Amino acid sequence: MVLQGVYTALVTPFCNGSVDWKAFEALLEAQVAGKVAGVVPVGTTGESPTLSTEEHIEVIARTVEIINGRCQVIAGSGANSTEEAIHLTREAKAAGADATLQVTPYYNKPTQEGIYRHFSTVAEKTGLPVVLYNVPGRAGVPIATETIARLSKNPLMVAVKEAGGSVDRVSEILDQCDITVLSGDDSLTLPMISVGAKGIISVASNLIPGELSAMVEAALNGDFASARAAHRKYYPLFRNLFIESNPIPVKAAMGMTGAITPEYRLPLCEMSAAHAEVLKKTLIDCGIL
């Protein structure tokens, strides 16, 4: 399975406490129109921790149905319980997802051997291609590069989303194995591609799918002058979409554009008025508003 380009970590829009399916379908159509390589429902950006299991599975199923083969679907179906991750991933496979995004088990802080066994078991029990998700800031532990190299020997391990904030990690991984690396940070997309990454699992592309697709395509084609111009234009957006915990700012921004109702589920809540002003100015400066 080839993964390359922009993959949008989709928000899950809510309205009056429920998933807003109309807004969600419009978001998916905007992604297809923006020529993204794929979409990633119910990851961190999709507020997976606050969705019920039934909602989680339905978001994946509806994504597959609406996308209808027009781009790839990588379902967020990880968990910090291996059995739960297997269950969600089997459901994602049954729904027709192309691959699964599997986050490092969070909170219980497994050893590297436990991490290796966790991902290996999910792959073995489900047969769905796995994108490993290294995000130590949320999970509490990293996936060591040695563990990624070990996992890469399994043909079902197709990529790693690298969200540790280090460009050097890309070189470290590719020095040890031949797995596809995708940036997990919009602001690091360009430097990561320059040393071998193949794309981005993006938050910002909820807002600017076409612009990001063009930036990444330019970089992958070696046109770093064009890619760098786009990066500099949108860097304030990349930065300020993390002015508070993701996905609070991106949902606020999408609320400002009228794409969704900026509604959250506790413990997430609306962003502060001061930060909202900063974000609004950023959207204006970037030409989004």
106 is an active site residue? no
7 is an active site residue? no
Catalytic one among 161, 198, 234, 251? 161
Catalytic one among 116, 133, 234, 251? 133
CA–CA distance, 212 with 227 (Å, rounded to integer) = 9
Beta strands in the chain (DSSP E): 5-9, 14-15, 18-19, 38-40, 72-76, 99-103, 130-134, 157-162, 180-183, 199-202
CA–CA distance, 205 with 212 (Å, rounded to integer) = 6
How distant, in Å, are the alpha carbons of 33, 103, 288 from that of 181?
Answer: 25, 15, 29
Sequence-separated (6 or more) residues with CB below 8 Å from residue 5: 36, 37, 38, 198, 199, 213, 216, 217, 220
| Residue 268 near residue 50, CB atoms below 8 Å | yes
Residue count (the chain): 289
- The candidate with the shortest Cα–Cα distance to 1, out of 98, 91, 86, is 98
**Within a 10 A sphere around the Cβ of 52, how many other Cβ atoms?**
8
- In what helix (H) or strand (E) does residue 118 lie, and over which residues does it extend? helix 112-126
- Considering all CA atoms of the chain, what is the largest pairwise distance in Å, rounded to the nearest integer? 49
Residues involved in catalysis: 133, 161
